[in-house]
Amino acid sequence: MNWLHTIFILALAYVAAFLEGRLDWFRDLLGAQITLLPALMVYTSLRAGIGAVALLAVCGGLWRDSLSADPLGVSILPLFFIGFIILRKRALLLREHQFAQVALGLAAGAAFPLGTLFLLLNLGRAPLTGWMTLWQWVVGTAAGGVLTPLLFRLFDRLRGALEYPALKQSSFREDREIKRGRQ
């Protein structure tokens, strides 16, 4: 399942990167485009290993940048650092709790555009920023918070459909016999 799991994550990143460029209705409605990649990175770093995190950061970042006027590779580092930090601390996180998933999704949704913007400014680019950027950042942050638990549910269902369900352990042990009555 490990490889299949990683392939599903990458396939979702591929479709998400395409839809981000293709779907206009959300941008027209709210004046901001949402991205699935930070939420997907939160899920990957909590449920998969460093290899999947690196693959998602590199492939997702490259796919996203290829449809954008961003310099190629600029989205990789912010994505990877989000995943890397969560991965390093995941033993301390209550990752199955919805509250933790929402909080991490919010943080990732907020950190991803800020990290990309920071890199762009350091590369000497002059992106279009203003008060509207603040609104777009808020929408992106909220989207991270909403999408992360949804991704957990989606992948849980997918796992449930593809894996054998775990055998429930009964309290009965065959090597133990309780004899009733007086001997």
Partner 1 sequence: MLKRSQYITLVLVVLLVVVLLCLPRRTADGLKLAISGLFLPLFGLAASTHEAVAKMGNGLTPRGELLRERDILRTNNQLLTIQLQAAANALRENDQFRQMLKIPPPKQGTLQFARVIARDPETWWRSVWIDLGSRTTPGMRTNLPVLTAEGLVGKVVAVGETRSQVLLLGDPGLLVAVLVGPGGLNGTLTAGSSWMRENNMLDIENLFGESADRTVHPGDEVVTWGEGGVFPGGIAVGKVVDVPGKEYGAATEARVRPSAHLDALQNVWVMILP
Q: What angle do CA 21, 109, 11 make, to 5 degrees?
A: 50
Q: In the numeric block, which tokens belong to residue 138?
A: 């808020």
Residue recorded with tokens 């055998």: 167
Measure the CA–CA gap between 56 and 62, rounded to whole angstroms: 10
Region 83-102 residues binding partner 1, contact defined as CB under 8 A: 84, 87-88
Residue 13 is a binding residue for partner 1 (CB under 8 A): no
Residue 110 is a binding residue for partner 1 (CB under 8 A): no
Binding mask 144-183 for partner 1 (x = CB under 8 A): ----------------------------------------
The long-range contacts involving 92-99, CB below 8 angstroms and separated by at least 24 positions, are 93/46, 95/46, 95/47, 98/149
Considering the complex, state which of residue 32 and residue 142 has its C-beta at the smaller distance from partner 1: 32
| Residue in 3, 29, 69, 164 binding partner 1, rule: CB under 8 A | 69
Residue 111: Cβ-neighbour burial (10 angstroms; 0-12, 13-18, 19+) = buried
Query: How much helix, strand and coil, in percent to the nearest 5, is found in the chain?
Result: 70, 0, 30
Residue 51 is a binding residue for partner 1 (CB under 8 A): yes
Residue 141 is a binding residue for partner 1 (CB under 8 A): no
Pick the closest to residue 152 from 79, 97, 85, 86 (CA basis): 97
Residue recorded with tokens 């998400």: 16
| Residue in 6, 44, 101, 136 binding partner 1, rule: CB under 8 A | 136
Residue 70 is a binding residue for partner 1 (CB under 8 A): yes
Pick the closest to residue 37 from 66, 22, 58 (CA basis): 58
Residue 133 is a binding residue for partner 1 (CB under 8 A): yes
Considering the complex, state which of residue 26 and residue 102 has its C-beta at the smaller distance from partner 1: 26
Binding mask 23-42 for partner 1 (x = CB under 8 A): -x--xx---xx-x-------
Residues of this chain that interact with partner 1 (CB under 8 A) are 14-15, 17-18, 20-22, 24, 27-28, 32-33, 35, 50-51, 53-54, 57-58, 62-74, 76-77, 80, 84, 87-88, 116-117, 120, 123, 125-133, 136
